[in-house]
Protein backbone atom coordinates (compact mmCIF):
# COMPACT_ATOMS: atom_id res chain seq x y z
CA UNK A 1 0.00 0.00 0.00
CA UNK A 2 1.13 3.52 -0.75
CA UNK A 3 -0.29 6.88 0.37
CA UNK A 4 0.69 10.11 -1.40
CA UNK A 5 -0.56 12.98 0.74
CA UNK A 6 -0.84 16.42 -0.86
CA UNK A 7 -0.70 19.21 1.71
CA UNK A 8 0.35 22.78 2.33
CA UNK A 9 1.61 21.72 5.80
CA UNK A 10 3.81 18.60 5.47
CA UNK A 11 5.28 19.36 8.90
CA UNK A 12 1.85 18.79 10.47
CA UNK A 13 1.80 15.26 9.09
CA UNK A 14 5.33 14.08 9.73
CA UNK A 15 4.71 13.55 13.49
CA UNK A 16 1.96 10.92 13.36
CA UNK A 17 3.85 8.83 10.80
CA UNK A 18 7.26 8.83 12.46
CA UNK A 19 6.42 6.95 15.66
CA UNK A 20 5.18 3.66 16.97
CA UNK A 21 3.09 1.30 14.82
CA UNK A 22 2.81 3.58 11.78
CA UNK A 23 6.58 4.01 11.69
CA UNK A 24 7.20 0.29 12.12
CA UNK A 25 4.75 -0.50 9.29
CA UNK A 26 6.82 1.71 6.99
CA UNK A 27 10.13 0.31 8.26
CA UNK A 28 8.85 -3.21 7.53
CA UNK A 29 7.95 -2.14 3.98
CA UNK A 30 4.24 -2.83 4.51
CA UNK A 31 3.23 0.72 3.58
CA UNK A 32 4.84 3.76 1.98
CA UNK A 33 3.72 7.26 2.96
CA UNK A 34 4.92 10.26 0.94
CA UNK A 35 4.14 13.93 1.55
CA UNK A 36 3.94 16.45 -1.29
CA UNK A 37 4.06 20.16 -0.53
CA UNK A 38 1.48 21.78 -2.80
CA UNK A 39 3.55 24.97 -2.92
CA UNK A 40 6.23 23.07 -4.85
CA UNK A 41 3.74 22.78 -7.71
CA UNK A 42 2.49 26.35 -8.05
CA UNK A 43 3.67 28.53 -10.93
CA UNK A 44 2.63 31.65 -8.98
CA UNK A 45 5.64 33.88 -8.37
CA UNK A 46 4.54 34.49 -4.76
CA UNK A 47 4.03 30.75 -4.20
CA UNK A 48 0.29 31.19 -3.68
CA UNK A 49 -2.01 28.19 -3.84
CA UNK A 50 -5.30 30.03 -3.06
CA UNK A 51 -7.33 32.91 -4.45
CA UNK A 52 -10.55 34.90 -3.92
CA UNK A 53 -13.77 33.14 -4.84
CA UNK A 54 -15.71 34.14 -7.94
CA UNK A 55 -18.99 35.82 -7.06
CA UNK A 56 -17.56 37.28 -3.85
CA UNK A 57 -17.80 35.95 -0.31
CA UNK A 58 -15.48 35.48 2.64
CA UNK A 59 -12.68 32.94 2.56
CA UNK A 60 -10.04 31.92 0.05
CA UNK A 61 -10.33 28.92 -2.26
CA UNK A 62 -7.50 26.55 -3.19
CA UNK A 63 -6.69 26.94 -6.89
CA UNK A 64 -6.87 24.17 -9.46
CA UNK A 65 -3.50 24.54 -11.19
CA UNK A 66 -1.02 23.38 -8.49
CA UNK A 67 -3.37 20.53 -7.53
CA UNK A 68 -3.65 19.43 -11.17
CA UNK A 69 0.13 19.64 -11.61
CA UNK A 70 0.79 17.61 -8.44
CA UNK A 71 -1.84 14.91 -9.10
CA UNK A 72 -0.78 14.63 -12.77
CA UNK A 73 2.88 14.25 -11.79
CA UNK A 74 1.96 11.43 -9.38
CA UNK A 75 -0.32 9.71 -11.90
CA UNK A 76 2.47 9.79 -14.50
CA UNK A 77 4.54 7.61 -12.14
CA UNK A 78 1.94 4.95 -11.22
CA UNK A 79 -1.75 4.06 -11.22
CA UNK A 80 -3.93 5.03 -8.26
CA UNK A 81 -6.98 3.23 -6.89
CA UNK A 82 -8.41 6.36 -5.26
CA UNK A 83 -7.85 10.11 -5.24
CA UNK A 84 -9.33 11.12 -1.89
CA UNK A 85 -10.28 14.62 -0.75
CA UNK A 86 -10.57 15.23 3.01
CA UNK A 87 -13.56 17.51 3.59
CA UNK A 88 -16.22 17.98 6.29
CA UNK A 89 -18.97 17.51 3.66
CA UNK A 90 -17.60 14.14 2.51
CA UNK A 91 -18.85 10.60 3.21
CA UNK A 92 -18.62 9.75 6.92
CA UNK A 93 -15.51 7.67 7.71
CA UNK A 94 -16.18 4.50 9.71
CA UNK A 95 -14.74 1.03 10.29
CA UNK A 96 -16.36 -0.56 7.19
CA UNK A 97 -14.80 2.20 5.05
CA UNK A 98 -11.42 1.61 6.74
CA UNK A 99 -11.77 -2.10 5.95
CA UNK A 100 -12.54 -1.39 2.29
CA UNK A 101 -9.63 1.06 1.94
CA UNK A 102 -7.25 -1.48 3.53
CA UNK A 103 -7.70 -3.69 0.45
CA UNK A 104 -6.51 -0.94 -1.95
CA UNK A 105 -3.04 -0.35 -3.36
CA UNK A 106 -2.04 3.22 -4.18
CA UNK A 107 -4.02 6.20 -2.89
CA UNK A 108 -3.63 9.96 -3.17
CA UNK A 109 -5.06 12.05 -0.32
CA UNK A 110 -5.61 15.77 -0.85
CA UNK A 111 -5.87 17.88 2.31
CA UNK A 112 -8.15 20.88 1.97
CA UNK A 113 -7.73 24.32 3.57
CA UNK A 114 -9.35 27.74 3.64
CA UNK A 115 -12.90 27.74 2.25
CA UNK A 116 -12.26 24.56 0.25
CA UNK A 117 -10.98 23.73 -3.22
CA UNK A 118 -12.13 24.83 -6.66
CA UNK A 119 -15.13 22.60 -7.46
CA UNK A 120 -13.52 21.57 -10.78
CA UNK A 121 -10.86 19.65 -8.80
CA UNK A 122 -13.65 17.68 -7.12
CA UNK A 123 -15.44 17.13 -10.44
CA UNK A 124 -12.45 16.00 -12.47
CA UNK A 125 -9.80 14.51 -10.17
CA UNK A 126 -11.38 13.30 -6.94
CA UNK A 127 -12.80 9.76 -6.73
CA UNK A 128 -13.77 9.77 -3.04
CA UNK A 129 -14.55 12.50 -0.47
CA UNK A 130 -14.16 11.63 3.20
CA UNK A 131 -15.21 13.40 6.42
CA UNK A 132 -14.02 12.11 9.80
CA UNK A 133 -16.95 13.69 11.64
CA UNK A 134 -19.49 16.48 11.78
CA UNK A 135 -17.14 19.24 12.85
CA UNK A 136 -14.77 21.52 10.97
CA UNK A 137 -11.01 21.24 11.42
CA UNK A 138 -8.54 23.94 10.36
CA UNK A 139 -7.41 21.68 7.52
CA UNK A 140 -7.53 18.13 6.21
CA UNK A 141 -4.12 17.03 7.58
CA UNK A 142 -5.26 15.67 10.94
CA UNK A 143 -8.24 14.01 9.24
CA UNK A 144 -5.90 12.38 6.69
CA UNK A 145 -3.69 11.09 9.54
CA UNK A 146 -6.77 9.58 11.22
CA UNK A 147 -7.82 7.78 8.03
CA UNK A 148 -4.29 6.50 7.30
CA UNK A 149 -3.87 5.28 10.89
CA UNK A 150 -7.16 3.35 10.87
CA UNK A 151 -6.36 1.81 7.46
CA UNK A 152 -2.68 1.00 7.98
CA UNK A 153 -3.27 -0.93 11.22
CA UNK A 154 -5.53 -3.29 9.25
CA UNK A 155 -2.77 -4.33 6.83
CA UNK A 156 -1.74 -7.92 7.67
CA UNK A 157 1.54 -7.89 9.62
CA UNK A 158 1.22 -4.32 10.94
CA UNK A 159 -0.23 -5.29 14.32
CA UNK A 160 1.87 -8.00 15.94
CA UNK A 161 -1.09 -10.06 17.17
CA UNK A 162 -2.67 -10.40 13.75
CA UNK A 163 -6.05 -11.46 15.06
CA UNK A 164 -6.42 -8.55 17.45
CA UNK A 165 -7.74 -6.10 14.82
CA UNK A 166 -10.63 -8.53 14.25
CA UNK A 167 -11.84 -7.98 17.81
CA UNK A 168 -11.70 -4.19 17.79
CA UNK A 169 -14.71 -2.15 18.75
CA UNK A 170 -16.89 -1.52 15.66
CA UNK A 171 -15.24 -4.30 13.68
CA UNK A 172 -18.26 -6.60 13.52
CA UNK A 173 -20.88 -4.04 14.51
CA UNK A 174 -20.18 -4.64 18.23
CA UNK A 175 -18.21 -2.69 20.78
CA UNK A 176 -15.32 -4.49 22.50
CA UNK A 177 -15.79 -5.92 26.03
CA UNK A 178 -13.92 -4.50 29.07
CA UNK A 179 -10.33 -5.68 29.59
CA UNK A 180 -8.24 -5.98 32.78
CA UNK A 181 -4.60 -6.57 33.64
CA UNK A 182 -2.54 -7.09 36.79
CA UNK A 183 -2.96 -6.60 39.70
CA UNK A 184 -6.15 -8.68 40.12
CA UNK A 185 -7.06 -6.42 43.03
CA UNK A 186 -6.20 -2.72 43.40
CA UNK A 187 -7.42 -0.57 46.31
CA UNK A 188 -10.06 -3.24 46.92
CA UNK A 189 -11.31 -3.06 43.28
CA UNK A 190 -11.41 -6.62 41.99
CA UNK A 191 -11.54 -7.95 38.47
CA UNK A 192 -14.46 -10.27 37.55
CA UNK A 193 -13.84 -13.77 39.01
CA UNK A 194 -14.55 -15.47 35.68
CA UNK A 195 -11.34 -14.05 34.18
CA UNK A 196 -9.32 -15.99 36.77
CA UNK A 197 -11.31 -19.22 36.29
CA UNK A 198 -9.10 -20.59 33.52
CA UNK A 199 -12.29 -21.82 31.81
CA UNK A 200 -11.98 -20.53 28.22
CA UNK A 201 -15.60 -21.28 27.37
CA UNK A 202 -16.91 -19.32 30.37
CA UNK A 203 -14.53 -16.43 29.62
CA UNK A 204 -15.66 -16.32 25.98
CA UNK A 205 -19.35 -16.29 27.03
CA UNK A 206 -18.66 -13.52 29.56
CA UNK A 207 -16.85 -11.41 26.95
CA UNK A 208 -19.69 -11.80 24.48
CA UNK A 209 -22.27 -10.88 27.14
CA UNK A 210 -20.26 -7.78 28.15
CA UNK A 211 -19.75 -6.71 24.53
CA UNK A 212 -23.48 -7.05 23.92
CA UNK A 213 -24.32 -5.08 27.10
CA UNK A 214 -21.94 -2.27 26.16
CA UNK A 215 -23.31 -2.17 22.61
CA UNK A 216 -26.93 -2.10 23.87
CA UNK A 217 -26.07 0.79 26.19
CA UNK A 218 -23.86 2.85 23.89
CA UNK A 219 -24.64 1.91 20.29
CA UNK A 220 -28.13 0.37 20.15
CA UNK A 221 -28.18 1.34 16.44
CA UNK A 222 -25.71 -1.56 15.82
CA UNK A 223 -28.24 -4.15 17.04
CA UNK A 224 -31.45 -5.54 15.58
CA UNK A 225 -34.82 -4.44 17.00
CA UNK A 226 -34.79 -7.15 19.72
CA UNK A 227 -31.52 -5.67 21.05
CA UNK A 228 -29.51 -8.72 19.95
CA UNK A 229 -26.79 -9.28 17.38
N1 LIG B 1 -11.29 19.10 6.91
C2 LIG B 1 -11.83 19.96 7.82
N3 LIG B 1 -12.69 19.33 8.62
C4 LIG B 1 -12.71 18.03 8.22
C5 LIG B 1 -13.42 16.88 8.65
N6 LIG B 1 -14.30 16.93 9.65
N7 LIG B 1 -13.19 15.72 8.00
C8 LIG B 1 -12.32 15.67 6.97
N9 LIG B 1 -11.63 16.72 6.52
C10 LIG B 1 -11.82 17.89 7.13
Same domain flag for 30 and 102: yes
Q: 45 lies in a domain?
A: yes
Q: Are residues 73 and 147 in the same domain?
A: yes
- Tell me if 27 is assigned to some domain: yes
Q: Is residue 157 part of a domain?
A: no
Residue 48 lies in a domain: yes
Mean pLDDT by 10 residues, the chain (229 residues): 98 95 97 98 97 95 98 98 98 97 98 94 98 97 98 94 76 93 98 98 98 97 85
Helix, strand, coil percent content, the chain, rounded in steps of 5: 40, 20, 40
CA of 135 to the centre of ligand 1 (A): 7
Q: Within a domain: residue 214?
A: yes
CATH number of the domain that 74 lies in? 3.40.1280.10
Residue 161 lies in a domain: no
DSSP β-ladder status, 128-131 and 2-7: unpaired
**Structural domains counted in the chain:** 2
pLDDT for 172 equals 85
Q: Which residues line ligand 1 (CB under 6 A)?
A: 86-88, 112, 131-133, 135-137, 140, 143
Rounded to the nearest angstrom, the distance between the alpha carbon of 13 and the centre of ligand 1 is 15
Q: Note the Cα 169 to chain centre separation in Å.
A: 15
Atom 4, ligand 1: residue with shortest CA distance: 88
**Distance from the CA of 95 to the center of ligand 1, in angstroms?**
17
Amino acid sequence: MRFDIITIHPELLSGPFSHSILKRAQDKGLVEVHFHDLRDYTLDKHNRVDDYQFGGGAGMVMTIEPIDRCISALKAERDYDEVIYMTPDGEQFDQPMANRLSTKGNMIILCGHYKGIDQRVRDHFITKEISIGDYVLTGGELAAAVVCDAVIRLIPGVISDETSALFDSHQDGMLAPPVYTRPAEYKGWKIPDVLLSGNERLIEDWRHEQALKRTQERRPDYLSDDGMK
